[in-house]
Amino acid sequence: MGQKRLKKMLVTGAAGGIGRAIRTKLAPLADIVRLSDRAGLGQAAPHEEIVYCELTEKDSVDNMVAGCDGIVHLGGQSVEADWETVRDSNIEGMYNLYEAARKHKVGRIFFASSNHVIGYYPQSQLLDAQTPPRPDGLYGVSKAFGEALASLYHDKFGIETAIVRIGSCFPEPVDHRMLATWLADDDLISLLECMFEASRLGCPVIYGMSDNDVVWWDNSQVAYLGWKPKHSSAIFKEMLDAKIERPHKDAAVSVYQGGVFTEHPIMEKKPN
Ligand code: NAI
Ligand code: 15L
């Protein structure tokens, strides 16, 4: 990292899958990494702080953000769910986070948006940063809200956000669709480095994918960030072909970018 190293970087949702995968790789980005979640985060390393916070609690979010100069916002509902669950974590929670960022003058945020914002586009269509949302469920709608909120706080208050429509960030692709959507965690780390180091970020939409052979998304509009993913899902293709049958060409997982998310019903909240 160059001169732009952060003093204190907040990572929300740090107890989740991505948070756990990147935790040990975050040290070069900031003097102190403040990890937050409502779930267990274990012991803090010497360069870490741990702050438990429920994103729906405004005062708690305010305290979590105070003193930080950059945020990696991973926290929230990460798959399709009933409206109340999605709304609480991804709409209320997102609003609380951006209000706290405004009050505490945080300049730059990484927002973990999702490919499910554009999940109803066919896999045959190449999308770019200008492509309008076409969500495949309430979860995708909530991420589209998050993208709009980030845009508002950029235009009104100058807060810069990397709106990253993450494909599938897992140790390896687990189905054929992920040959297009896979994002290696090392490539996510290099994206964080680029966006926090850039002299100007703005509020761009970035597709969070590795250098895969199968390409549905065009990141040429963010070439100015200098992000060059180094990994490719291609090395997993043979293993996938041997392990699982290719889905039928008319199955949702073969037709839509969002795959099976297009098939989820609108879910009802389960009574307590
Ligand atoms: P995850 O579900 O494993 O982790 C999310 C974390 O957020 C959890 O630890 C959970 O406790 C926390 N959280 C949820 N609601 C909260 C609330 N109201 N208050 C405080 N904490 C709360 O998800 P994962 O896979 O780590 O993804 C991280 C982010 O990236 C999510 O926002 C997800 O939507 C997004 N994303 C992930 C993708 C992936 O392939 N893993 C793909 C696209 C987007
Ligand atoms: C997402 O948005 C989810 O958070 C993740 O669990 C995966 O389902 C991913 O999209 C995907 O589309 O593979």
Ligand 1 mutation pick, 11, 12, 18, 91, max ligand atoms within 8 A of CB: 18
- Which ligand has the shortest distance to the CA of 178? 2
Give catalytic residue positions: 139
Task: For ligand 2, pick from 77, 114, 139 the residue to mutate: most ligand atoms within 8 Å of CB.
Answer: 114
Residue 141 CA to ligand 1 centre (angstroms): 15
Q: Give the domains, in start order, of the chain with CATH numbers.
A: 6-263 (3.40.50.720)
What the block records as the tokens of 248 is: 């039928």
How much is the CA Rg of the chain, to the nearest whole Å?
Answer: 18
Other C-beta atoms closer than 10 Å to the C-beta of 94 total 23
In this predicted structure, the answer to whether residue 64 has a pLDDT above a threshold of 50 is yes
Per residue in 222-272, pLDDT (tens digit) is 999 999 999 999 999 999 999 999 999 999 999 999 999 999 999 999 888
- Complete edge-to-edge strand list for the sheet that includes strand 160-166: 48-52, 30-37, 6-12, 70-73, 108-114, 160-166, 205-208
Q: Output the average pLDDT for the chain.
A: 97
Residue 5's pLDDT band, with cuts at 50, 70 and 90, is confident
Cβ atoms of 92 and 75 within 8 Å: the answer is: no
C-alpha angle with apex 219: 167 to 196, nearest 5 degrees?
A: 85
Length, in residues, of the chain: 272
Determine the Cα–Cα distance for residues 188 and 215; give it in Å rounded to an integer. 17
- Residue holding tokens 């009802």? 268
Phi, psi torsion values for 178, nearest 5 degrees: -70, -10
- Find out whether the beta carbon of 13 lies less than 6 Å from any atom of ligand 1: yes
Pairing type for strands 6-12 and 70-73 reads parallel
Residues 99-119: tens digit of each pLDDT? 999 999 999 999 999 999 999
For residues 71 and 3, which has the higher predicted lDDT (pLDDT)? 71
3-state secondary structure of 221: helix
